[in-house]
Amino acid sequence: MIKVDNIYKKFKNKMVLDGVSFEVKNGETLVIIGASGTGKSILLKTIAGLIKPDSGGVEIDGELIAEVSDIKGFHKMQKKTGYVFQEAALFDSLTIFENIAFGLKNLTNLNKKEIAQRVEQCLSMVGLYNVEHLKPSELSGGMKKRAALARSIAYKPEHILYDEPTTGLDPIMSDVISDLIIDLREKLKVTSIVVTHDMKSAYKIADIIMMIYKGKIIFSGIPEEIKSTKNEYVRQFVEGSSVGPIPAERTFDMEKT
């Protein structure tokens, strides 16, 4: 289980996360939506331990992330939680094989043969074949996303965090990625948190959809509930309308929050 308890985070004079609390049950997929600059990616990075909150805490399977201070404990938590970055974040100078094997070489006791077998298995799970020798620049956007997914599951994580997994992809490839998220959840029995603007994907993959606005949770419910909600902020966002309480033009202090 992932538990977020009363998280606050401020950058300069901007309150990015304003008392955020929720739980994600084992095996559940939570989708977080919201306009740009509302704190979604910052929240995801806080859950992953990449950003420290000003106050509040994050528990993963009963263990407070903030209390994992030694490198051994951090690596243990890192192995339990896969993270798929918005831009894939593959190492450009390494081959796809080397990208996926990088953490396995440095953080596990697997030998070369076992690492090779694990890399092949992960690539197969995301539908990539004969790409081990290629560099990220030689892959399409969709293939990069799938390679990033393969890297995130290399440790056999119990949780996966996805930051905008379908951004920049055409509708067909976006649907392929959505199917992969569902498939990985079913095969690996993982708990997932997905940040996205893609409502088609959100409806397809989510058990629960949560919307953040100005650093606060303003809606949380199953997909059927969000489709029928009368909350004017939520309706404007899911309908993609420029008319409503959310300003169409916004100025932010930070990017990708």
249 within some domain = no
> What does the mean pLDDT of the chain come to?
87
- Amino acid in position 57: G
Per-residue exposure over 179-193, b if at least 16 CB sit within 10 Å of its own CB, e if not: ebbeebbeebebbbb
Residue 248 lies in a domain: no
**129 is written with which tokens?**
């074949």
Say if 253 falls within a structural domain.
no
Query: Which tokens belong to 181?
Result: 């998220």
Q: In what order do the strands lie in the sheet with 14-24?
A: 14-24, 2-11, 55-60, 63-64
Q: Which residue has the tokens 């308890």?
A: 5
pLDDT at 89 (0 to 100): 80
pLDDT for position 251: 45
Model confidence at 253: pLDDT above 60 = no
The total of other beta-carbon atoms located within 10 Å of residue 64's CB is 12
The domain that holds 220 is classified in CATH as 3.40.50.300
Question: Quick one: pLDDT at residue 136?
Answer: 93
pLDDT of residue 157: 87
**Residue 133 domain-assigned?**
yes
CA distances from 254 to 78, 155, 209 (A): 26, 32, 24
pLDDT at 72 > cutoff 70: no
The pLDDT value recorded for residue 74 is 52
Q: What is the pLDDT of residue 252?
A: 45
**If pLDDT is split at 50, 70 and 90, which confidence band does 167 have?**
confident
Q: What is the largest CA-CA distance in the chain?
A: 58
Domain with 65, as residue range(s), is 2-239
Q: What is the spatial distance between Cα 189 and Cα 139, in angstroms, rounded to a whole number?
A: 28
Share of residues in the chain with pLDDT > 90 (%) = 55
Q: Establish if 251 belongs to a structural domain.
A: no
| 18-52 pLDDT tens trace | 999 999 999 999 999 998 888 898 999 999 888 88
d(CA 226, CA 238): 8
Alpha-carbon span 41 to 83, nearest angstrom: 12
What pLDDT is attached to residue 35? Answer: 87
Question: Which helix (H) or strand (E) is 183 found in, with range?
Answer: helix 171-188
Top pLDDT among 77 and 21 is at: 21
How far is 58 from 229, CA to CA, in rounded Å?
29
Residues forming a β-bridge with 193 = 30, 161
The number of folded domains in the chain is 1
- Of 65 and 109, more confident: 109
pLDDT at residue 139 is higher than 50: yes
Residue 254 has pLDDT above 60, yes or no: no
* 46-68 mean pLDDT: 82
**pLDDT category of residue 106 using cuts at 50, 70 and 90:** confident
Residue 70: the pLDDT is 47
Q: How confident is the model at residue 66 (pLDDT cuts 50, 70, 90)?
A: low
- 255 falls within a domain: no
* Residue 235, CA distances (Å) to 19, 29, 53, 205 in order: 23, 22, 30, 19
Does pLDDT of 67 surpass 70? no
